[in-house]
Structure 1
Amino acid sequence: MLLIQRTDNGLWSLPGGGQEIGESVAGAAVREAQEETGVRVEVTGMVGVYSDPAHVIAYSDGQVRQQFSLCLRAVPLGGTLTPSDESSDARWVARDDLVTLDIHPSTLLRITHGYEERPEPYIG
C-alpha cells in the first residue's frame, strides 16, 4: 500500500486531492499520486465513494465543507518515492504494518475495503 504522511496533520493517508478543471477523475488520481509520492500510477478500478455526513472539514480560509471522496485502485508504473510539500514521507507499507501508523478511521475504512476487493464499489 502506498501511503503518505500528511504535512498538515501528521497522519498517514492515501495520496489524493482535488480534481482540476479539464481533468478526468483518473487523471487527477494519477497526477496527485505522482505529486505527493513521486510514483507514477495507472488507475485500474474503484474501491468506493465515501461521503460520511459527520466528516466535516474546516479549511484555513474559513470554508467548512462536508467531505466526499472517490477512492480508486491503481498499480505503480515507476518513479522514485519522493515526499512533497503535502507529504513529509511517502512509503510502501505492508498490510500487517498498518496498525503501527497513525491513520484516520475514515482512511482506514478505505484501505480495508481496498483489501476486501469487493465485487462492486462501496457507496456510503
Structure 2
Amino acid sequence: MAAYAVVVNDANEILLTWFNGGAAGFHPGWSLPGVGVEFDEDIESAAVREAHEETGYLVELGSLLAMHHFTAPFSRRTGRPFRAQRFIFDATIVGGHLGAIEEGGTIEFARWVARPDFPLHDGVAHSKEQGESLAPSFPLQPMRNP
C-alpha cells in the first residue's frame, strides 16, 4: 500500500519530491510526497510521516482525493500474485520547513512547482537546490511490480 499527500500553497504551487530511482534502478522522476506504509501503520499516519520525511513539512490531512489499485499475476520478488493500492489525500502544512529529513532514502529534495506548470512538461526541470538538470517524469510515480 502507498499513501500520498497533495499540498498546494497560497501561491498556487504544488509540492513535489524528486525520486532518485532507488537501489532497484527505477526511472528517476517527480512524485507527490509519500509512498511506504509500514506493516503496523494506518494509511493516514503513513501519509503524514512520509510527507514530513520527504519534504520537512508537518502536514494535516484533509479529504481522500483518490484511490487507485492494480493487480498482477506475479511479483518479480516473490513470483506470487499481488495487489497494490495507493491512497491520495489533500493536505495542509501545519509546521516544519522545506528540506527532506530522510537520510539515505529515495527522495533527494522537495520543490514547489507552479500549478500551471503541473505536470512538468518542459523536458528538463532545473533544481535550484541541487544546481543540476533533472529529467522529469510523471508527478506521481507509477506503482511498480515488486
How many residues matched? Answer: 104
| 1:78–1:46 CA distance, 2 compared to 1 (3 A) | same
CA RMSD of aligned residues (A): 2.8
Q: Residues of 2 paired with 1:16 and 1:57: CA distance?
A: 22
Structure number with greater Rg is: 2
Larger relative helix fraction: 1
Larger relative strand fraction: 2
For 1:97, the aligned partner's letter is D
Residue aligning to 1:86: 106
Residue aligning to 2:11: none
Percent identity of equivalent pairs:
34
> What TM-score do you get using the length of structure 2 for normalisation?
0.59
Superposition pairs for residues 91-110 of structure 1, below 5 Å? 91-98=111-118, 99=120, 100=122, 102-104=136-138, 107=140
After superposing on structure 2, the runs of 4+ consecutive aligned residues of structure 1 that deviate more than 3 Å are 63-67
For 2:33, the aligned partner's letter is P
State whether residues 65 and 89 of structure 2, in contact with CA within 8 Å, keep that contact through their aligned partners in structure 1. yes
Structure 2: 5+ residue runs without aligned partners? 1-13, 22-26, 126-135, 142-146
Q: Residues of 2 paired with 1:77 and 1:33: CA distance?
A: 12
